[in-house]
Each structure stands twice: as C-alpha cells, then as structure tokens.
Amino acid sequence: MEGLLEGLLLFIRGLWYQFFNVGTLFMVAVACLSTLASASAVFNLSWHVSMRIVAYGCVMPSIISIQAANRCRNQAFNITSALKGHIFSTWCVFKEWCDAAEIDSNPVEDEVQALAATMLVYLRSKGKGTDYSDPGLAHPVYDAFKVLFSRIESFRQGPNPPSPPAIASQQNFLRIALEAFETARTYSDYRTPRGLRLFCFVVVHTSPIFLAPYFNSYCGRQNNHDFAVTDATDPHYYGCRSGYLMATLFVLINSTLLSVQEGLENPYDGDGEDDINWDIWTDQLHTLSQYGRDGGRARPGVANSPARKMVSEEGTRTG
C-alpha cells in the first residue's frame, strides 16, 4: 500500500511538473487550434507521413541535447566533489600545522571559509537568461587563493616551520584546488551548442502547427472520411478526439524534453531538483573546526546518531 501511495504521489508530481506550465498549456492550445484549422479546411493541407520521420525530426534533436547537458552535469558533479575534497584536505593540513606550532587556527579557518564562500557565490551567479557567470565575482576567489598561498609562506618562515616536503604538498593541494575551480567555472559557463538549442526551441514551438494535417489524418483513419471537411454541418468539421489527443501528446512529449534539457543546463544554480545540493556543501564546510578526534562531542546531533552508536558498540565488542 505504501509503494502504491508513493507511486501515486510521484505520478501527481509528474503531472504538476508538466501540465502546470504556462508555456506547455499555450502550445497545447496552439496545436489543438491548428488541428481544428486543418480539419475545417482552413489550412487546406493534408498528407500522410511516417511517425518515424516525425520522431527523428522533432524528438531526436531534443534527446541529443539532453544527452549533452546530462554529460556536462555529471562531469560538473565529479569536479565539484573533487574541489570540496581539496579544500577540506588543505584545511586539515593547516590545522595540523597550527596545532604543532601551538597557534590559533581560527584565522586560518576563516580564510578557508572565505575561499569556499566566494567559490559558492561565483558558481551560483549564473541565473536564467544569462550566458555566463559574473566575471567580477571571480576576483574574490583568486584573492582567497592568494591569501592561502601567503599563509603557507608565513608558516615556512615561522619559528617552527613544517618540512619542505609538507610545504610543497600543501602548495600542490592549493594548486589542484585552483585547477578544479577553473574546471568547475568552465562547466558553470558551458551550455549545449547554441545552434542545437535554438533548433530544438524552434522545432518544439513550430512543429505542432506544421504537423496539424498529420494529427488530423487520424480522424480520417478513425471515421473513414476526407482529411479536411468544408461543410460546417458535417460532424467531422471540427475534427475528432483522436486528432486532438495526438496533438496534445506530441506537445507534451516535446515540451517535457525541452524542460528536462533546460533543467540540466546549469547544475550550479540550485534551481532544479537535479542540481547540486549546496546546503550539504555549506553545512559541512562551515563546521571545519568540529572535525577530528573530538568531532562527535563538538557535534551533538552526530554524536547521538545511530551510525555513531553502531561504531561505538562495535569498538566495545572488539576491544
């Protein structure tokens, strides 16, 4: 019963996602009006075409565009996880250096937090209707990187400096993090080819009009009459249910594909359900000082979690 209810809720969400869309409802109305015009001989056009031609010409471009956008999205996810890992690794090394030198780690933590925050602001700056993120927001990111490189130099010149290999490793961590940010920046600004996007947009919004005689041809097959009827007293003058149903289904399929493609375009803006969950990113990076041996005590919610209890019980049994 629970599975049936979940399936019903998922179905309702799908209907809400597709039907309660002004653009989709408008195109359904246009397709039905075009089918009506074809049925009443206003267009004075009729033809038989293969559904395969319709599918390849109208649906396949959208599918290709979705594949390109989804590939970009998956690569963006991978590079973003690597970027987060490099930032956390950099903080862990700085924390060890601060503990060894017996100095306060809060200033270093603030600098690492500033780097993460400026990255987040930049990657989310590209909104709908804009082709690129705000270039001015990238300058604070480079400022934060320079501050951390200078921090490494200050440790090297301190009274108890880390070993040269440790210094080199930390510099390499930052270099890799910078490269990861540049890659993430590229994916943030990238979109599927403009020509392909424009072609899909034009096809979705014009094909229901040009294919109206094709939709109306289902009336002829259903009722065995001519495609176009000029006599207003004929019951088929206003078309039939099968023609309007095919027109509506065609619009819904193409509009859904276009919506999916647009939703996959920018995984960083956080507007779509398939975008990066920035809440998890910020929650974990904003608690950097609470990670370590005493992390469980610093995070009461985690200390009392079932996973923490299972680990503690397992340690007690093996001990």
Q: Report pLDDT for 318.
A: 43
- For the beta carbon of residue 35, count every other beta carbon within 10 angstroms: 30
Torsion region of 234: left, alpha or beta (phi above 0 gives left; psi -120 to 50 gives alpha): beta
Separation of alpha carbons 196 and 120, rounded Å: 29
- Please tell me which residue, 174 or 128, carries the higher pLDDT value: 174
Token output for 54: 């319709």
For 98-107, 145-154, 164-173, which range has the lowest pLDDT when averaged over its residues?
98-107
Q: Report pLDDT for 220.
A: 66
Q: Report pLDDT for 88.
A: 86
DSSP-derived 3-state class of residue 168: helix
Q: Are 90 and 147 in contact (CB under 8 A)?
A: no
CA dihedral over 261, 265, 267, 268, signed as positive or negative: negative
For 30-44, 121-135, 168-182, 241-255, which range has the lowest pLDDT when averaged over its residues?
121-135
Separation of alpha carbons 43 and 34, rounded Å: 8
Confidence of residue 260 (pLDDT cuts 50, 70, 90): confident
For 61-70, 124-133, 155-164, 304-313, which range has the lowest pLDDT when averaged over its residues?
304-313
Confidence of residue 136 (pLDDT cuts 50, 70, 90): confident
Q: Report pLDDT for 308.
A: 41
Q: Are 185 and 126 in contact (CB under 8 A)?
A: no
Separation of alpha carbons 232 and 138, rounded Å: 65
What percent of the residues of the chain are helix, what percent strand, and what percent coil, each to the nearest 5?
75, 0, 25
pTM above 0.75, yes or no: no
DSSP 41: T
Stretch 41-56: mean pLDDT? 68
Separation of alpha carbons 288 and 141, rounded Å: 19
For 64-73, 155-164, 237-246, which range has the lowest pLDDT when averaged over its residues?
237-246
DSSP labels, 262-290:
HHHS-TTSS-STTS--HHHHHHHHTTGGG
The number of residues in the chain equals 319
Q: Report pLDDT for 7.
A: 77
pLDDT in tens, 201-239: 888 888 888 888 888 777 766 666 555 554 555 555 667
What residues does each domain of the chain span?
67-191+265-292
Above pLDDT 90, what percent of the chain?
10
- Please tell me which residue, 45 or 94, carries the higher pLDDT value: 94
Stretch 47-66: mean pLDDT? 75
DSSP 161: P
Q: Report pLDDT for 177.
A: 92
Confidence of residue 51 (pLDDT cuts 50, 70, 90): low
Q: Are 250 and 208 in contact (CB under 8 A)?
A: yes
Q: Report pLDDT for 22.
A: 80
Q: Who's near 239: CB < 8 A, 6+ residues apart?
A: 35, 36, 38, 39, 40, 216, 219
pLDDT in tens, 94-127: 988 988 888 888 888 889 888 988 888 888 876 5
Separation of alpha carbons 49 and 158, rounded Å: 79
